[in-house]
Amino acid sequence: MAKINVNGRVVDVTVEPDTPLLWVIREQIGLTGTKYGCGVAQCGSCTVHVDGVATRSCSLPISAVTEAQKIVTIEGLSPNSSHALQKAWLANDVPQCGYCQSGQIMAAAALISQTPNPTDADIEREMTNICRCGTYNRIKTAIKQAASASRG
Amino acid sequence: MNAIDLSRRNFLVGAGAATGGLSLGFHVTLGEATGQGVSPEVNAWVVIRPDDKIVVRVGRQEMGQGTLTGLAQLVAEELDADWSMVETEYPTPGQNVARKRVWGDFATSGSRGIRNSQDAMRKGGATARAMLVQAAANDWKVAASECTVDKGVISHKGSNRSTTFGKVAQAAAKLEAPADVKLKDPKDWKIAGKPLLRLYQDGKVNGAQVYSIDFKIDGMLNAAIRDCPYWGGSLKSFDAAAAEKMPGVKKIVRIDKNAVAVIADTWWRAKTALEAVKFDYDPGPHGKLDTAGINAMLDEGLSAKEAFVGNQAGDVEKAIAGAAKKIEATYAFPYQHHATMETMNATARWTADKCEVWTSSQNAEAALATASQAAGLPLDKCDVVRMDLGGGFGRRATSQDYVRQAVLIAKEMPGTPIKLIWSREEDMLHGCYHPTTKCKLTGALDKDGNLVGLHMRISGQSILATIRPEALDKGRDMATFQGLNAGGAEGRLGYTIPNLLVDHAMRNPPVRPGFWRGVNNNQNAIYLECFVDELAHAAGVDPLEFRRRMMKEHPKHLAVLNAVAEKAGWGKPAAAGVYRGLCQHMGYGSYVAACAEISINEQGTLKIHRIIAATNCGHAVNPAQIERQIEGSFAYGLGPLLMQEITVKDGKVVEENFDTYPILRMAEMPSVESIIAPTNDFWGGVGEPTIFAAAPAVLNAIFAATGKRIRTLPIGSQDLRRA
């Protein structure tokens, strides 16, 4: 039994303590926007925010998460796809298959909240999520647009 | 709507099944399945709802390549529809079978999605338009020829009347379809040919999009599987005593002799329990197989007496014997894994009467056939609901093995839906690998530096010999010669070489091969275009000029090459420290070329700054999506060039995850500039063709920068410091 705070809601989950946060989110809470890709923190498809920090949830056991920590998934990033990044993603028609995009957006959201005016080098250093469709260049453009919009 | 949100894709048949309402796909017509009263099916392709919403039915599969949007544009164009009112719907393969394949071939591979469906679908749109107009004209008692259509509104100027598609759809559906309809001239297109945004993007930015791996249905259990990792090996025995006692485990089953699946309440628990199962394998006859052994097999083929001939002209032996200068080189391309972001998965529910499958496939008809066979039920007792794909790239076209497994597992618990998900490790070990080949090239230059003879000896694995042996031509695999053919509309060699021999010594290791985006064009373009660059340097001729001399009879190949050379400023100096390389090739009916600009620092680190790419795909149905395919294909195609390689040791694949099979990431992605140069006189493919232009252009640029020829991929840790 564990209590976790996901998207502002505290929920009780009954799982083995070594269960990764990813599978708690997907199978216990039922939010499937956060994806399984590799299970070894390589691809970033499972990226969520833990207290604002981009975290690869496939490799974080639920036993290491406390009720006080605020977990945000793609579903909790904004109501109605209204986050500046989501708007920029749509304006740039970024997704292809779309499978990795939840993780990409969550990684980007953490980046621009910490670095409001990221350079190309900042983006390339922080955005290490894998996309097999090859949407990288449009992701970069969308991040810069969103960062600019967020700064006003 | 319950927990799942399938309606986004208007996947109403599937949604009905998921909510327990309709029995999916068992010969309900799609129009009736919408749950909004009967929406008239004007014809198989077009349904128009009373609220004027237009539903376009699409047989081909969307998997990120934009085909769904492109095909809908073509139908909407012929309809003169209001694009904002257009939605799409996937018929199931069961429905296709029941209606004598009215939607044609569902297989979405070989960059055929649009080019092989456009004719039927445009006619579907044009026929529906004619019927809608006729219905309005009948109502108004005027001649249909006097009516016009604009954005879904039918008007008759003479009587100043107008109506909408939705209002006349019921009447139109009862009319006989006209036998002949005239399709629009593409120069008059208003919806097709335009850079429209892709359909259904919202769910991909807010997590709502439901991929096959996300599918949920009441009472569903989850399964994890481990199949024997040795090709030709077998499972001698397994010990599941500990696993059976683990939390959530419902049943542990052995299927297809060599695979063990744990069925549990959640997938994580199934996977955890599977790790507690002890396996005893017999590696079988190939238990000692390794990459060195496979390479030795291929090396033998490079000089073998017998080989299948793919393209031949003149007398190459004589030309080489009489050459002023003879050049030789051997290239090698390693095994590749598709590494779709979404691992293989499928949900199945089996009873003695029917079998239902929910999965992501590039060929739902093949998935249906696979399900039927595994279920032991006739086709009309089975169906497959088509879910969104987290990547295809050929993997989900080559084999429906995951569907077979899901059905066999579901048979062990009749009536219970069970979702099978492969772990990444399982996915890596049971791929349909891009085959490995090598190529020995021998070129003959005359005294003026012209190429008068070329022998390309390819040695290596045939995909068709394993995957589709019935497609072999007296043992020969013509797909091996992609892009090197003497004629045809699919992939012609772009050079006139008077004495030519392209042949293939087929050497088939037991590794299961598959169709991997671009397929054999990937290595064929590297072999030929890098060797042509070698020949140009040996002849002391500029690589662009050297190519042009051989391209007089190949104007479309030449046009795209010229386009990239011009945009790159070929012949003019690049920025300091920046070097250029060229490539041109034809595949999947389209002509492509690339010019890469790279630099290499003193430590030998490669930076690909920019790749300029041109494609002539005949008709450009959506230029914005074509641009995205060009960029995306480069991200995929540069992987094998830079870092990706599947190796074999002790009879199985070594690389089990992305830590050992690195994937190109943002920092390695070059800037891409696209030139879309359609000549509007043929229909070529888009999803794959540009993939094969990137790697040879980069390799040729590396030579320009360093004087070094990289002939074995990937570059990996090879020393790129200037020679």
Tokens of B536: 């140009």
> What is the ipTM score, two decimals?
0.98
Region B370-386: mean pLDDT is 98
Q: Do B206 and A90 touch (CB under 8 A)?
A: no
Q: Which residues of B398-419 are buried (b: 16+ CB within 10 A; e: fewer)?
A: bbbbbbbbbbbbbbbbeebbbb
Contact B15, B1 (CB under 8 A): yes
How far apart CA B611 and CA B647 sit, in angstroms, is 29
Q: Which pLDDT tens digit goes with each residue over B258-269? A: 999 999 999 999
Show the tokens assigned to B594: 């690339």
pLDDT digits (tens, 9 = 90+) for B401-441: 999 999 999 999 999 999 999 999 999 999 999 999 999 99
DSSP string, A88-122: HHHHTT--SS-TTHHHHHHHHHHHHHH-SS--HHH
Each residue's pLDDT tens digit, B669-678: 999 999 999 9
Q: Which residues in chain B are closer than 8 Å to A86, comparing Cβ atoms?
A: 205-206
| DSSP calls for B80-143 | T--GGGEEEEPPPHHHHHHTTTTT------TT-TTTTTHHHHHHHHHHHHHHHHHHHHHHHTS-
Mean pLDDT of B269-288: 98
Domain with CATH 1.10.150.120 in chain A: 79-151
| Pairwise CB contact (< 8 Å): A81 & B393 | no
Smallest Cα–Cα separation from B467: which of B524, B526, B516, B429?
B516
State both tokens at A40. 């070894």
Q: Residue B302: what residue type?
A: L
Domain with CATH 3.10.20.30 in chain A: 2-75
Quote the minimal CA–CA distance from A66 to chain B in Å: 21
Q: Between chains, do B269 and A16 touch, taking CB under 8 Å as contact? A: yes
- Host H or E run for residue B612: strand B606-616
Per-residue pLDDT tens over the stretch B528-545: 999 999 999 999 999 999
> pLDDT (tens digit, 9 = 90+) per residue, B627-638?
999 999 999 999
| Percent with pLDDT over 70 in chain B | 95
What average pLDDT is seen over chain B? Answer: 94
Residue B453 · residue B314 · CB < 8 Å: yes
- Reported as a single tens digit per residue, the pLDDT across A24-58 is 999 999 999 999 999 999 999 999 999 999 999 99
Q: Is residue B658 less than 8 Å (CB to CB) from chain A?
A: yes
* Residue at token pair 């039994």: A1
Chain A residue numbers with beta carbons less than 8 Å from the beta carbon of B424 are: 37-40
- Reported as a pLDDT band with limits 50, 70 and 90, residue B2 is very low
**pLDDT tens by residue, A109-151:** 999 999 999 999 999 999 999 999 999 999 999 999 999 998 8
Q: Which residue of B has its CA nearest to A80?
A: B206
Confidence of residue B560 (pLDDT cuts 50, 70, 90): very high
On chain A, the residues whose CB falls within 8 A of the CB of B633 are 134
Option in B3, B198, B205 nearest A105 (CB): B205
What φ, ψ does residue B226 adopt, rounded to 5°? -130, 115
CA-nearest residue of chain A to B632?
A: A134
CATH topology (fold) of A2-75: Ubiquitin-like (UB roll) (3.10.20)
pLDDT tens-digit readout, B150-176: 999 999 999 999 999 999 999 999 999
Query: pLDDT higher for B646 or B23?
Result: B646
Distance CA B198, CA B69 (A): 6
Q: Taking 60 as the threshold, does the pLDDT of residue B19 lie above it?
A: no
> Which residues are B46's β-sheet partners?
B43, B56
CATH code, A79-151: 1.10.150.120
Domains of chain B by start residue, with CATH: 6-206 (3.30.365.10), 215-284+344-421 (3.30.365.10), 303-336+433-706 (3.30.365.10)
**C-alpha to C-alpha distance for A12 and A26, rounded to whole angstroms:** 14
- Put simply, the answer to whether B666 touches A124 (Cβ < 8 Å) is yes
